[in-house]
Amino acid sequence: MRREKIIIDADPGVDDAAAILMALASPEIDVLGLSIVAGNVPLRDTVINACKIVGLSGRHDVPVHAGAAGPLVRDQVYGKYARIGAFDDTLVQPGDISPSEEHAVHFIVRLAREAVAAGEQITICAIGPMTNIALALIQHPDVARGIRQIVSMGGAFTALGHRTPWAEFNIYADPHAAEIVYRSGLPIVVMPLDMTFQALFTSEHFEQFRAGGEAGKALFNLFSTFDRGDIGRFGRPGGPIHDATTIAWLIRPDLFSGREAFVGAQVTGLTIGYTYADFYGKMDRSPNATVITDVDEAGFIVLLIERIARFGQSGLGATAQGG
C-alpha cells in the first residue's frame, strides 16, 4: 500500500482536532508533522491545542512546529469560537508533547527539499489560514518541486460565507496567503463550504466518537460543548466537520466528486476574503484547482467515526496508528 506522506498545516480548532486525529489513525497516511498557524485562536493557543491532540494519539514521533502568528498583510482576525483559546483540561486532557524549536516554515522547506533529494514529493493538508505555506513558497520558491499537491479546506462559492456573508474563515483570515498559494502553479484541491455543508454530524454521531478511547472522548467533549448546528441555514439538525474532509479525500477519493476551475481570492475592499471559482471559463484562464463539489455524506460520516474508533481498540499504540 502506498502511504501518502503529508504535513498538516492547521490552526486547532475543533474541526482541526478531528482531522488531525483521523489522519493519525489512518494507515494510508504518513503524518510527517504539524505546522501550526494562528487562526481559530492565537498562535500560543493553537500550538497548545495541537500538542494536546497529538498527545491523545500517543504519537510522540509526530512533531509540532509553531509558525506564523499573524497574516501576511491584513489585520488579525480570529474564529467564531476564539474565546475557547487553549482547550480546557476538562475537555481535552493535558499530555506530554512539547512543540519543536524549528519554525513551521523552516520545517515545510526542509521536508520539501528532503523529498526532492529522495525523488519524492509530499502533500500539504491546509486546514487553516495558509500563511505558513505562502511564506515557504515566497522565501524559497524551489520547495514547490517537493510538494505533490495542496489539499485545502477553504473558500465558499454558492454557499457564501460563515465568518462574513461573503467569506469562509480560513481565506478571510489571510486572503493574501491564499492568493499566493492559488497562483503558485502547484496542484490544488479545494474543499469549500459548498461541499462541507452537505455532511452534517448530529449528537448521535458525536456519541459514537466516545468509542475512540481518550482521543474519542475529547472529540465528543469538544463537539458536544460547541454547538455547530444551524437549522436556519442547513434545514436539518447537525453541523459540518469541515477540515476532516481533506483527510477523507486522501483516504477515500471515491466519496467525493469535483470540477476543475480557476480559483482566486479577493484581497482588498469590503469583500476581502471572498473566493471565486470560474467553472465556465468566463475569465479565459486555465484551471488552477480541483474544486470538490459533492460528498457522500453517509460514507464520510462512517469513515470518520470508524477511524476515531481505532484509538479505542486494544493493541493500537504509538507506532501502529498510521505510521
Three-class SS state of 305 = helix
Q: Give the active site residues.
A: 242
DSSP letter string over 46-73?
HHHHHHHHHHHHT-TTS-EEE--SS-SS
Of the chain, the end-to-end C-alpha distance in Å amounts to 12
State the pairing for strand pair 122-126/4-10. parallel
- d(C-alpha 181, C-alpha 172), whole Å: 14
Give the sheet arrangement for strand 64-66, strand by strand: 64-66, 29-36, 4-10, 122-126, 147-153, 188-191, 289-295, 256-265, 275-278
46 in Cβ contact with 72 (< 8 Å): no
DSSP conformation class of 19: H
Residue pair 292/195 in contact by the 8 Å Cβ criterion: yes
- Beta-carbon neighbour count of residue 210 at 10 Å? 17
Measured between alpha carbons, how far is 241 from 174 in angstroms, rounded to an integer?
21
Q: How many residues does the chain have?
A: 323
- CA pair distance 269, 43, nearest whole angstrom: 26
